[in-house]
């Protein structure tokens, strides 16, 4: 039996002058003050000061303009967001989560930087635009002056007036090209549903935001399931699950858990290389492996996921996905492979790291591009880790515990159960008799439960139960 729930960095964030302020805005613009967990809409017409740790985001048909004490001006386009941090004295730096930002930097001002997941742009007096797209890639356009631009691997180059460069996520800086476009219109939305879906996965974790989004999406859900079950600890859980298609080549799975004393949720965004078919199972049934000489029509290119109790969160970002043939000259078997994976844990009361994603506990990159995982291609917090696997109820019971402890003492533990609606944990003996003869019916009574605990959670836990039925309906679960 196999279940599929995957447990990402969108940017590096640096400082901005604490004399920065929002001077004007239109439409729906929201701010989350440093230390707060809730977003608040900007109201009125007065200036709004921005200080270290504040986040700003715009909705569709909405913009915001930020001014700084040295005369530098920044305009945030619709469906965009960034976060401010501290000033280093002679350098101002801001991180772009997603969307576009255009900056008019005064000459002889402090060093000014814009950082995205895949690039960093450093200037002193210029007019330029930075775009962070849904795939984590970056586009930089220079309208006046020059911009020193580098990728995440440390490669750099100088963009001059009238030039642009695109840096894909995980990619390298290439020679700039002449820009055929006029200066970017910052009043229009860059993105589409793909950008919005990616943003939402990582940035909407308050209960109010999650429920509001679910209320909006569930009206158009493709698959949907609601039920009340008992979890592995004897507590009643109200589960609500659904899938939607944010874009033609995406689908998203969402599960909400409500207990008497807690609310937990999980979301996974699946992105494919091609438009998905009307019958989703045609793509998902061959998502991880496929047979035949022909390359599968749909290849999973990216997964973005989150599990959270609305305070703490575990996120996983996998990208560069493709199907690998067992024999390139005469393939018979195709196996899915992600070239890059990142795993983060954020404690709700911990200092914000990595743009709010938390500590990166481990990451993987196929450094030599051979499509084969090798031990040297993994990086771990502190340089190493130890793992303890156990099965507390014996090998015949579907209850397992895995605990990873990293070199700096940080640890995370995942406890997994497969159980029936009444809370009974599945055992090997249950596969005898009627269970195996009517597997389809029994699947509708089975659930999975994952419990995360961590040294970063201050005694809290992320506890999520989800059904086999919806995963089966969506083609994510096969027997």
Q: How far apart are CA 439 and CA 417, in angstroms?
A: 18
| DSSP label of 193 | H
- Give me the pLDDT at residue 185, please: 75
* Torsion angle defined by CA atoms of residues 300, 304, 307 and 312, in that order, rounded to the nearest 10 degrees: 160
Residues 6+ apart with CB under 8 A from 436: none
Whether residue 52 contacts residue 84, with contact meaning beta carbons closer than 8 Å, is answered with yes
Q: Which CATH class is domain 21-178?
A: mainly beta
- Give me the pLDDT at residue 21, please: 87
**Distance, first Cα to last Cα, the chain:** 6
CA 361 to chain CA centroid, nearest Å: 15
**Domain definitions of the chain by residue range:** 21-178, 193-473
Where would I find the beta strands (DSSP E) of 313-461? 313-325, 333-346, 359-365, 378-380, 385-390, 399-406, 411-420, 446-454
CA 185 to chain CA centroid, nearest Å: 27
Question: How many helices, marked H, and strands, marked E, lie in the chain?
Answer: 6, 32
469 is written with which tokens? 């039925």
Regions of the chain with pLDDT less than 70: 1-19, 85-89, 108-109, 124, 134-135, 188-196, 355-356, 432-441, 478-479
Q: Which residues of 358-371 are buried (b: 16+ CB within 10 A; e: fewer)?
A: bbbbbbbbbeeeee
Residue linked to tokens 């005064």: 106
Residue linked to tokens 């469906």: 79
* β-bridge pairing 21-26 and 63-67: antiparallel
Secondary structure class of 178 (helix, strand, coil):
strand
* Torsion angle defined by CA atoms of residues 440, 441, 442 and 448, in that order, rounded to the nearest 10 degrees: 70
- Give me the pLDDT at residue 81, please: 87
Nearest CA-CA partner of 209 in 442, 374, 39, 380? 39
356 is written with which tokens? 């709010």
- Give me the pLDDT at residue 2, please: 35
Whether residue 300 contacts residue 272, with contact meaning beta carbons closer than 8 Å, is answered with yes
Nearest CA-CA partner of 465 in 236, 201, 231, 218? 231
What digits encode the pLDDT tens for the residues 388-432?
999 999 999 999 999 999 999 999 999 999 999 999 999 988 876
Tell me how far CA of residue 167 lies from CA of 152, 156, 174, 181, 338, in angstroms. 9, 11, 7, 18, 19
Nearest CA-CA partner of 136 in 302, 276, 314? 302
DSSP string, 169-210: TT------EE--SPSP-TTS----HHHHHHHHHHH--SHHHH
Q: How far apart are CA 258 and CA 240, in angstroms?
A: 9
What digits encode the pLDDT tens for the residues 430-455?
876 555 556 666 778 899 999 999 99
| DSSP label of 267 | E
What's the pTM value of the predicted model, to 2 decimals? Answer: 0.67
Nearest CA-CA partner of 445 in 133, 160, 126, 228? 228
Where would I find the beta strands (DSSP E) of 37-105? 40-41, 48-49, 55-58, 63-67, 73-76, 81-83, 91-105
């Amino acid at each position: 039996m196999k279940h599929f729930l995957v447990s990402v960095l969108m940017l590096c964030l640096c400082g901005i002058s604490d004399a920065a302020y929002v001077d004007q805005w239109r439409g729906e613009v929201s701010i989350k003050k440093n230390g707060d967990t809730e977003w608040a809409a900007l109201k009125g017409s007065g200036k709004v000061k921005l200080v270290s740790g504040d986040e700003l985001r715009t909705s569709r048909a909405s913009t915001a303009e930020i001014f700084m004490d040295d005369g530098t001006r920044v305009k945030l386009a619709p469906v965009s967001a960034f976060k401010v941090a501290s000033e280093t004295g002679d350098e101002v730096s801001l991180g772009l989560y997603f969307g576009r930002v255009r900056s008019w930097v005064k000459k002889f001002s402090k060093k000014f930087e814009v950082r995205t997941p895949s690039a960093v742009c450093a200037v002193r007096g210029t007019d330029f635009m930075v775009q962070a797209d849904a795939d984590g890639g970056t586009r930089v356009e220079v309208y006046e002056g020059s911009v020193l631009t580098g990728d995440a691997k440390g490669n750099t180059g100088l963009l001059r007036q009238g030039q642009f460069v695109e840096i894909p996520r995980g990619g390298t800086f290439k020679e700039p090209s002449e820009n055929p476009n006029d200066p970017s219109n910052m009043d229009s939305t860059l993105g589409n549903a793909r950008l919005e879906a990616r943003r939402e996965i990582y940035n909407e974790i308050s209960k109010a935001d999650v429920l509001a989004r679910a209320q909006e999406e569930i009206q158009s859900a493709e698959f949907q399931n609601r039920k009340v079950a008992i979890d592995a600890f004897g507590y009643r859980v109200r589960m609500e699950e659904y899938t939607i298609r944010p874009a033609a080549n995406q689908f998203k799975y969402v599960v909400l858990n409500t207990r008497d004393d807690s609310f937990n949720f999980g979301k996974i965004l699946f992105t494919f290389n091609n438009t998905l078919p009307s019958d989703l199972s045609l793509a998902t049934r061959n998502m991880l492996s496929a047979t035949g000489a022909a390359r599968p029509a749909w290849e999973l290119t990216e997964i973005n996921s989150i599990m959270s109790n609305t305070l703490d969160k575990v996120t996983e970002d996998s990208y560069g996905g493709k199907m690998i043939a067992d024999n390139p000259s005469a393939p018979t078997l195709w196996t899915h492979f992600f070239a890059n994976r990142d795993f983060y844990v954020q404690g709700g009361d911990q200092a914000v790291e990595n743009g709010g994603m938390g500590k990166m506990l481990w990451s993987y990159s196929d450094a030599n591009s051979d499509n084969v995982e090798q031990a040297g291609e993994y990086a771990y917090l502190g340089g190493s880790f130890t793992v303890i696997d156990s099965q507390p109820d014996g090998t015949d019971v579907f209850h397992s515990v895995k605990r990873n402890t990293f070199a700096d003492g940080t640890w995370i533990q995942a406890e997994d159960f497969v159980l029936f609606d009444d809370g009974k944990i599945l055992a090997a003996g249950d596969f005898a008799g009627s269970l195996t003869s009517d597997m389809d019916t029994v699947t509708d009574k089975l659930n999975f439960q994952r419990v995360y605990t961590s040294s970063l959670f201050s005694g809290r836990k992320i506890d999520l139960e989800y059904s086999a039925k919806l995963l089966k309906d969506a083609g994510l679960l096969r027997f």
